[in-house]
Chain A
Amino acid sequence: DAKTTQPPSMDCAEGRAANLPCNHSTISGNEYVYWYRQIHSQGPQYIIHGLKNNETNEMASLIITEDRKSSTLILPHATLRDTAVYYCIVRVPQTGANNLFFGTGTRLTVIP
């Protein structure tokens, strides 16, 4: 699976949009982009995933560039409870067997 690169940390003001970038320049054509987050001392929480079209759900939006070499997770109105480590992962879908590689992620701190 392709590896990803994320900034180690980011700050965001409460109520503002948090834009978390991810670089996956070696992504292959059949790999999806997944985002998880881990709040301190909890298990990771699935956020969203996509292939090439932009995706939106109740938690966030995922913007994938046309060449698919990078993506951005957008939390439209960050709250203090969004403070967490955010992981961007690329994987081949429908393989069942684990291929979730958790890198170092981005530690997002939402500031009051």
Chain B
Amino acid sequence: GAVVSQHPSWVICKSGTSVKIECRSLDFQATTMFWYRQFPKQSLMLMATSNEGSKATYEQGVEKDKFLINHASLTLSTLTVTSAHPEDSSFYICSAYRGITDTQYFGPGTRLTVL
């Protein structure tokens, strides 16, 4: 149990376009999901906390208008990178919080490359 999926697993886009990444908890409901970013040879950095039915909370330095988060249901959160630029190229990872086990479960990640 406690499986989290992400789609797509990788995406290549042109500079200036927008990209949407989906995060789904497949076998449990998650009122809270998290979005992380990881650059090569670095650790995960939290970008934002996504709460079902309310606005996301962004970490300092993360532009909320550039990284749009929607948590429309208890099993789905989406991250949209708007007007992507090459510096947004990174590995984006989501996690879903399962209250009954008090544990975050992570998705497999999405590798974004902006040309």
Query: A-side interface residues toward B, CB under 8 Å?
Result: 34, 36, 38, 41-46, 49, 87, 93-94, 96-98, 100, 102-105
Contact = CB atoms under 8 A, between A and B. Distances in A.
Nearest to B59: A98
Contacts, number: 53
Interface in B20-59: 31-32, 34, 43-46, 49
The 9 A-B pairs at the shortest CB distance, nearest first, are namely A43-B106, A102-B44, A102-B43, A44-B106, A43-B109, A43-B93, A43-B108, A43-B107, A93-B102
Nearest to A32: B102
Contact of A98 (B2, B6, B49): B49
**Contact size class for B?**
20 to 34
A39 to B, nearest CB: 10
Interface of B: 2, 4, 6, 31-32, 34, 43-46, 49, 91, 93-95, 97, 99, 102-109, 111
A103 B42 CA distance: 9
Contacts of B46: 98, 100
Given A93-B102, A100-B46, 13 more contacts: A41-B91, A42-B108, A42-B109, A43-B6, A43-B95, A43-B107, A43-B109, A44-B44, A46-B106, A94-B102, A96-B31, A98-B34, A102-B44
Nearest to A44: B106
Contacts of A45: 106
Nearest to B108: A43
